[in-house]
Amino acid sequence: MDFSKVKLVVSDMDGTLLNPESEVSSRFFNQFNALKEKNIHFIAASGRQYQSILDKLHSIKDDISIIAENGGIMKYNNQEHILLKLTRENVQKSVSLLRNVEDAYIVLCGRKRAYIETNSEDFISRFSKYYKEYAIVDDLTKVDDDDFLKIAVFHYESSEKHILPSAKALKADLQVIVSGENWLDISHAEANKGYALNILQQKLGVKKEETMAFGDYNNDLEMLELAYFSYAMENGHDDVKKTARFMTKSNAEEGVEIILDKLLNQGL
C-alpha cells in the first residue's frame, strides 16, 4: 500500500491507541518522533476529557493537536478552541431524563472539570481513568460556572442495551452516540470528532487522501469517513468495521503501531 501522501495521522485513544491497561506504548512515542521528522502531524481524538488526554500524552503535548469530548473542544497550535457547547436547557432536560435510567451514572463534562452526583467508590475508580479533573456535587443541574461540552453516561453492563433506548428521546435536538461498551455520550447536535477533524484538516491544508485515521467505536465513524486510510481496530464495533476501508490488529496487539511502522518504513 502506498502511504507516501500521508501528512496527517489521527487516532482515537481508548480501545485504539491505549492498550487494555489504558497506557500509551513506548513504541508509539518512538514512532511519534519519526512522524515529526517526516512532517506528519498527529492528532489525538477522544471522548476523553481534555486534561486526561494531556496527561496520557504529556511528553508530546506541545507538538500535537487534540480533539477532546468527542469534538466539543480542540487544541491546535497550542491554543484551545471550544467548538460546540450544550445549553443549560440541554443539560437540565438530559439529566432529568437520564436520572430515570436504572443503574446509570451521569457525568457532566465541563471545560474546567467533570461533575458527578454519586459517591460510589467503584464508579469513581472507573470514571477517574477518563477524567483527571472532577468534582462531586449535590445536583448536576445546579452547576452554572462552567462551559458544558458533553454529558457522558455509564452503565456497568451495556450502554447500548440499557441507556440508549431512553436517550433516543434526546436525538431530536442533540447528538446521542454509543461511545463504548459501557458509555454513551450526549453532545451538541453537530458535535463529533469528524466536525473537529474537518476544521483541523482545513487549518493544516491536508486532504482526505492525505489522512490516516484509527478508531474502534461509533463515536469514531465521522472521523474515519474523513480519512482515505481509515482503520478499524480488530476489537472494534461492527459499525466501525463496516465504515473503515481497512482493519488492523487489536489495541492489545498494538494495532495502531503496526500500521505506523508500515507508514514510517515505506521506501526503506
Mean pLDDT of 146-156: 96
> Do residues 241 and 219 lie in contact, with contact meaning Cβ atoms separated by under 8 Å?
no
Q: What is the DSSP letter of 182?
A: S
- Tell me the three state secondary structure of residue 216: coil
CA distance 93 to 95: 6
Please give the backbone phi and psi of residue 179, each rounded to the nearest 5 degrees, phi first.
Answer: -105, -5
Location of C-alpha cell 472507573: 126
- Alpha-carbon span 205 to 255, nearest angstrom: 27
User: What is the spatial distance between Cα 103 and Cα 122, in angstroms, rounded to a whole number?
Assistant: 13
pLDDT tier at 114, thresholds 50, 70, 90: very high
Please give the mean pLDDT across all residues of the chain.
Answer: 95
Instruction: Specify whether the CB–CB gap between 163 and 153 falls below 8 A.
Output: yes
Question: How sure is the predictor about 266, in pLDDT bands with cuts at 50, 70 and 90?
Answer: confident
pLDDT in tens, 16-52: 999 999 999 999 999 999 999 999 999 999 999 999 9
Indicate the pLDDT class of residue 233, thresholds 50, 70 and 90. Answer: very high
- Residue 66 burial class via C-beta count within 10 angstroms: exposed 0-12, middle 13-18, buried 19 and up: buried
CB neighbourhood size of 182 (10 A): 18
For the chain, the first-to-last Cα distance in angstroms comes to 14
Residue 268's CB is within 10 A of a number of other CB atoms, namely: 4
Tell whether the model's pLDDT for residue 250 goes beyond 60.
yes
Per residue in 65-80, pLDDT (tens digit) is 999 999 999 999 889 8
pLDDT of residue 157: 96
* Angle (nearest 5°) at CA 202 between 257 and 73: 70
Q: Which residues pair with 109 in a beta bridge?
A: 114, 150
Mean pLDDT across the stretch 226-243?
97
The answer on pLDDT for 131 being more than 60 is yes
In angstroms, the CA 249 to CA 54 distance is 25
The residue to which cell 457522558 is assigned = 152
pTM above 0.85, yes or no: yes
Cα separation, 147 vs 153, whole angstroms: 18
Q: How far apart are CA 206 and CA 200, in angstroms?
A: 8
pLDDT-derived band of residue 267, with 50, 70 and 90 as boundaries?
Answer: low
Contact 250, 233 (CB under 8 A): yes
pLDDT band at 251 (very low <50, low <70, confident <90, very high): very high
Q: What are the φ/ψ torsions at residue 246 (nearest 5 degrees)?
A: -130, 170
CA 178 to chain centre: 12
